[in-house]
Amino acid sequence: MLAAVDLGTNTVRLLLGNIVQGQLVPVRHERMITRLGGNWSEKEGLAPESMERTLFALVRMGDIIRNSRITAVRAVGTQALRMSCNGQAFADRVRAETGLSLEIISGEEEARLSARGVLEALAPPPGRCLIFDIGGGSTEFVLWDEGVISFSRSYPLGVVSLCENFANIAAQNTQIQMILDQLEGDLKASDCILGEGSDEPCPLVGTAGTVTTLAAMDLEMADYDWRRINNHILEGHRLKEMLAALLPMSVEEREEVPGLEKGRGDLIVPGLQIVLCILQRFGRDRLSVSDFGLLEGALISLADPAK
């Protein structure tokens, strides 16, 4: 059995699973919202209390791995570690105290692994799609085109950074639009066309906590089930209804909404704004959802490093 750990800006996740006849078969999932990127500062980097919360979660996950019959482990860290002056020091501490060799991956590697995980979940897999992975500190965009990644880029746009650094919805929206301007320019510079105006425009596929939470809310899930999340379709009009309903609520009230897990009450609105802005920017009225992403891609890479 294989194990993968995804240390994100907001959430720590563990997956135990097997590769059977080339297909991923999940065995066990664990996740804890630790908000590693919370109270981050450019001068000091990761905040002490954020590191302690995250280390606690990683100790627990390390224990699970040691008590399971694991043949290989890959633990990856993303934007919170990439952008922090003390990111490598924290990774070294993780290794010393948990035994996990935490690899701080590039935005490009994060995008590649996310795409591999996403495509594992989609049935049937699309020949072409624009995948986006909204994290706590960054968002990755990958254009998948008939088995080839024709565009891959990571942008400093995440739900934790939006929530903590921009005081109101208007300011958050301005930041989102600025990043999407960069994305649109980068796509054009790379000669990537998404098929606007054609009979079959390039579909959008979303993954990671914000998008899967929105799917769980849409399905009014009392208990999260990744099988129902994979391939779920989120309609733009439904997302607008969710935003209108959530805006007047307190954080505590939001976390009582079926499907919205505790710890995301203040993050779901900026996350929703990102999704709606992406739909609007590319003229789409829906997106497909994949529960699989970076975590699953990291595990798959253990069985086949080329993937």
Specify the pLDDT at position 76: 97
Specify the pLDDT at position 200: 62
The mean pLDDT of 285-291, rounded to a whole number, is 93
Residues 6 or more apart in contact with residue 151 via CB below 8 angstroms: 141, 142, 143, 186, 187, 190, 192
Would the pLDDT of 194 be above 90?
Answer: no
Specify the pLDDT at position 197: 45
Determine the Cα–Cα distance for residues 285 and 280; give it in Å rounded to an integer.
Answer: 8
Residue ranges matching CATH 3.30.420.40 in the chain:
2-105
The mean pLDDT of 239-256, rounded to a whole number, is 94
For the stretch 205-238, pLDDT in tens is: 999 889 999 999 999 998 888 889 999 999 999 9
Task: Report residue 198's pLDDT band, with 50, 70 and 90 as the boundaries.
Answer: very low
Specify the pLDDT at position 271: 92
Residue ranges matching CATH 3.30.420.150 in the chain:
111-294
- Full-model pTM: 0.78
Which pairing describes strands 286-290 and 11-20: parallel, antiparallel, or unpaired? unpaired
Specify the pLDDT at position 219: 96
Q: What is the CATH number of domain 2-105?
A: 3.30.420.40
Would the pLDDT of 46 be above 50?
Answer: yes
Would the pLDDT of 154 be above 90?
Answer: no
Fold of 111-294: Nucleotidyltransferase; domain 5 (3.30.420)
Task: Give the ranges where 168-255 is alpha helix by DSSP (H).
Answer: 169-189, 209-218, 226-229, 236-246, 251-254
